[in-house]
């Protein structure tokens, strides 16, 4: 034995791995999936295509991680917004606003994450990473039901519908060729839509 993974080597390896993920994310955010082939990512990360395959066994695995990272950031922010004090309706509105505002700020990336036509392998990721959002809404809705602020209902159904509503309503405005609309009005409209969809405040049991 003459070569061993010293801390320095491990550190450099980790750093390279990060560079790859960052490079992929950057290319997607800038040019969409067309600009994010393996050779382009490798070049952006400053290494050869072959070397990239020492870090990720396949493109699908790489994008799985890219998707997870990019989504996780957003999910964390939304989860935090869901944690703020207030009624379930207030919290729901806040999460919707945060989600929409951030999407509209990082348009190109949001479009890539939400809607851009993409390889089926990667598309599957998209479906997967909607679940955490749904679960955030499920939590809020169940809290609301328990508190008597929201009528009893299938929380998973309602939450799924809200996720879909957000995505679809944002796709148009996020599309690269969209002319810009009044973002604050859009955000407010979406929040109102979602809160109203929960139904009216149920009559309190006497």
Residues that bind its own copies (CB under 8 A): 33, 115, 117-121, 123-124, 127, 130, 153-154, 157-158, 160-169, 171-172, 185-186, 189-190, 192-194, 196-200
Stretch that binds DNA, among 53-61, 78-86, 124-132, 185-193 (CB under 7 A): 53-61
Which positions from 134 through 153 interact with DNA, judged by CB under 7 A?
none
Tell me which of its own copies, DNA, none is bound by residue 60, counting a contact when its beta carbon lies within the kind-specific cut-off of 5 to 8 angstroms. Answer: DNA
DSSP 14: H
Around 200, how many Cα atoms within 13 Å sit in the side-chain half-sphere? Answer: 3
Tell whether the torsion through CA atoms of 51, 52, 55 and 61 is positive or negative: negative
The residue with tokens 């067309």 is 34
CA distance 82 to 90: 9
CA distance 176 to 3: 50
Give me the least distance between CB of 74 and its own copies, in Å please.
17
Q: Which residues bind DNA (CB under 7 A)?
A: 1-6, 8-9, 12-13, 16, 37-39, 47-51, 53-54, 57-60
């Amino acid at each position: 034995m003459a070569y061993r993974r010293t801390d320095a080597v491990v550190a450099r390896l980790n750093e390279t791995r990060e560079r790859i993920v960052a490079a992929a994310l950057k290319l997607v955010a800038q040019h969409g999936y067309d600009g994010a082939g393996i050779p382009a990512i490798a070049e952006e990360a400053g290494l050869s295509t072959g070397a990239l395959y020492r870090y990720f066994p396949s493109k699908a695995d790489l994008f799985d991680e890219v998707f997870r990272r990019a989504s996780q950031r957003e999910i964390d922010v939304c989860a935090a917004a869901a944690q703020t004090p207030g009624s379930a309706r207030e919290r729901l509105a806040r999460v919707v606003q945060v989600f929409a505002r951030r999407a509209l700020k990082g348009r190109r990336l949001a479009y890539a994450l939400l809607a851009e036509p993409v390889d089926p392998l990667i598309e599957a990721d998209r479906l997967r990473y909607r679940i955490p959002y749904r679960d955030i809404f499920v939590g809020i809705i169940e809290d609301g039901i328990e508190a008597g602020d929201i009528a009893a209902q299938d929380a998973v159904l309602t939450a799924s519908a809200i996720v879909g509503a957000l995505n679809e309503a944002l796709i148009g405005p996020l599309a690269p060729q969209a002319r810009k609309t009044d973002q604050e009005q859009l955000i407010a409209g979406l929040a109102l839509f979602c809160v109203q969809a929960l139904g009216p405040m149920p009559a309190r049991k006497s």
